């Protein structure tokens, strides 16, 4: 008997990816199929298993989107294949999300389902723009209205909306904003009622325009407000509760490139400093599944006095292979570890191992110097690293007459993602390797003249120069922290210069 599939309707929240619930994230991390809207933050797809099928069904106002009936049929078909499906919907599934229609279709076809609520833009977007939905003695109710089509704005309804004393929140109504405001005024709403329009709410590109009901449409047009936009009408819209806690990278945007693990790690650190990030993981780590030299080395691990690991990827592959070969970690009791990078050190520590040798500068040449100085000539070294690892590591070991096996256990390659004509317009763009640079330009991306490039080390800088990029910042410390420190320093310098001009 074939396995029946299940469908989880998950609210992705609005704006930035980290507004999803923990429950929703847990389901994303183990699904087999994700069916997602354009209104969701694409960074959520980084948490989906690589093997999962990813299907975009549009659903953005003004652009092509899949018909709802086709989406319903898609969910039924995939569930009939026995798949575990996450239907990822912007905001909340039941707040103008048409989640009910999808459930009716699932019920009609005997498909099991569950629902995970999401943070609705109707409340969160105004809130993150400093506007409360309710406030004591000012607004005791909130009314959520779709302004998407003419049928949603019938005269009888507008009479009722105009008579309400609470906060009115119109979703997807930007193109009808003038009609909405004029209709409310003609139905008796005070023309001086505080109003606001928030475009791209809860994201780095959020834009807020305020005014009165009589002029809010004109103000939004002058400010060139774009969809998606949320309109708030009511006395609560006069409040300004924008956050006053300022982090070092508040209002700074950063595009992060690299492998998915690196992108996740670096993005989280940027976001903790207040930055908004865009992720571009154009690189895949390709582990060499059939690698007899690697297996033989691990099965004879006692022959080595030192294991050299140059990356987090290498460390993770090393420990995974030990388990695969059923090698007890206690067999490493007499082995020293020489590594590059704090991330690699953390990967070792998660397995209960503290690195013995770790240079201050996170490059192969520095590691080779440390090994030459600290490892006796009679101790054999096992080097486990990427296919394109620096030749300086082994050249220096050869000069010092060290005994070693240099085994390539993985490669980092472009995953072939094409983003032709996509222009990077964030404040900063980061590169952590030459491979990342090559994959980026091979994808067809372009870079705005306003975007500053930050890279690790001279090798990555030289690769950028081959693509005609000369205006770039090179991290003094050649690691992830170095990239962050470089951007912090640059932002601070810009703030000082701006202050001096005033």
Residues classed as catalytic: 37, 59, 172
Count of C-beta atoms within a 10 Å radius of residue 23: 14
What is d(CA 292, CA 462) in angstroms, rounded to the nearest whole number? 35
What is the number of residues in the chain?
502
Beta strand 404-414 with 276-287 is: antiparallel
Tokens linked to 355? 């690195």
With b meaning 16 or more CB within 10 Å and e meaning fewer, what string describes 52-67?
beebbbebebeeebee
What is d(CA 203, CA 213) in angstroms, rounded to the nearest whole number? 25
**DSSP E strand stretches across 246-305:** 253-259, 276-287
Tokens linked to 286? 């390709």
What is d(CA 198, CA 456) in angstroms, rounded to the nearest whole number? 37
CA 191 to chain centre: 42
Cα dihedral: 75, 80, 86, 91 (round 10): 30
Q: How far is residue 371 from each of residues 121, 242, 348, 382, 398, measured CA to CA in Å?
A: 55, 53, 18, 12, 12
DSSP 8-state symbol, 42: G
Contact 307, 277 (CB under 8 A): no
SS3 for 102-135 is HHHHHHHCCCEEEEECCCCHHHHHHHHCCCCCCE
Tokens linked to 459? 């090798």
Tell the residue number behind the tokens 């629902």, with chain if given.
115
Beta strand 194-199 with 229-233 is: antiparallel
* Helix (H) / strand (E) containing 220: helix 216-222
**DSSP E strand stretches across 272-376:** 276-287, 306-309, 336-339
Crossing angle of helices 155-163 and 177-186, rounded to 10°: 70
Count of C-beta atoms within a 10 Å radius of residue 396: 18
Count of C-beta atoms within a 10 Å radius of residue 120: 22
What is d(CA 186, CA 398) in angstroms, rounded to the nearest whole number? 86
Residues facing residue 426 across a β-bridge:
none
């Amino acid at each position: 008997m074939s396995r029946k599939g299940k469908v989880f309707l998950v609210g992705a929240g609005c704006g930035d990816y980290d507004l999803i619930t923990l429950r929703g994230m847990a389901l994303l991390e183990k699904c087999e199929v994700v069916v997602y809207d354009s209104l969701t933050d694409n960074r959520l797809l980084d948490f989906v298993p690589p093997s999962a099928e990813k299907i975009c069904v549009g659903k953005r106002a003004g652009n092509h989107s899949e018909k709802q009936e086709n989406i319903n049929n898609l969910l039924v078909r995939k569930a009939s294949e026995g798949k575990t499906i996450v239907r990822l919907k912007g905001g909340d599934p039941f707040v103008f999300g048409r989640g009910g229609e999808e459930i009716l279709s699932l019920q009609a076809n005997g498909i099991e389902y569950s629902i995970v609520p999401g943070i609705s833009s109707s409340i969160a977007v105004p809130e993150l723009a400093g506007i409360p939905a309710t406030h004591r003695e000012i607004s005791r109710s909130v009314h959520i209205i779709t302004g998407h089509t003419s049928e949603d704005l019938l005269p009888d309804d507008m009479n009722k909306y105009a008579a309400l004393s609470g906060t009115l929140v119109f979703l997807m109504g930007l193109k009808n904003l003038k009609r909405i405001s004029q209709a409310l005024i003609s139905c008796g709403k005070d023309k001086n009622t505080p109003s606001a329009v928030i475009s791209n709410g809860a994201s780095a590109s959020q834009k807020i325009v305020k005014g009165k009901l009589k002029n809010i449409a004109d103000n939004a047009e002058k400010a060139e407000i774009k969809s998606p936009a949320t309109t708030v009408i009511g006395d609560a819209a006069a409040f300004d509760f924008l956050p006053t806690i300022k982090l070092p990278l508040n209002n700074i945007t950063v595009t992060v490139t690299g492998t998915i693990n690196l992108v996740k790690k670096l993005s989280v650190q940027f976001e903790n400093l207040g930055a908004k990030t865009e992720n571009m993981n154009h690189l895949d780590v390709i582990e060499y599944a059939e690698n007899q030299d690697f297996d033989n080395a691990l099965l004879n691990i006692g022959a080595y006095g030192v294991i050299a690991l140059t990356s987090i990827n290498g460390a993770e592959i090393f420990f995974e292979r030990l388990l695969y070969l059923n090698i007890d970690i206690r067999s490493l009791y007499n082995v020293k570890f020489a590594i590059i990078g704090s991330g690699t050190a953390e990967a070792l520590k998660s397995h209960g191992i503290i690195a013995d040798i770790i240079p201050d500068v996170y490059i192969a040449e520095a590691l080779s110097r440390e090994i030459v100085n600290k490892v006796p000539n009679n101790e054999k070294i096992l080097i486990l690293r990427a296919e394109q690892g620096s030749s300086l590591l082994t050249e220096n070991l050869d000069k010092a007459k060290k005994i070693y096996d240099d085994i390539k256990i993985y490669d980092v390659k472009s995953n072939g993602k094409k983003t032709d004509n996509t222009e990077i317009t964030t404040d900063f763009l980061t590169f952590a390797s030459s491979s990342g640079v090559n994959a980026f330009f091979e994808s067809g991306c372009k870079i705005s003249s306003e975007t500053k490039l930050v890279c690790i080390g001279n090798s990555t800088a030289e690769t950028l120069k081959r693509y005609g990029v000369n205006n770039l910042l090179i991290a003094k410390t050649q690691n992830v922290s170095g990239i962050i420190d470089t951007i912090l320093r640059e932002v601070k310098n810009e703030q000082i210069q701006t202050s001096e001009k005033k």
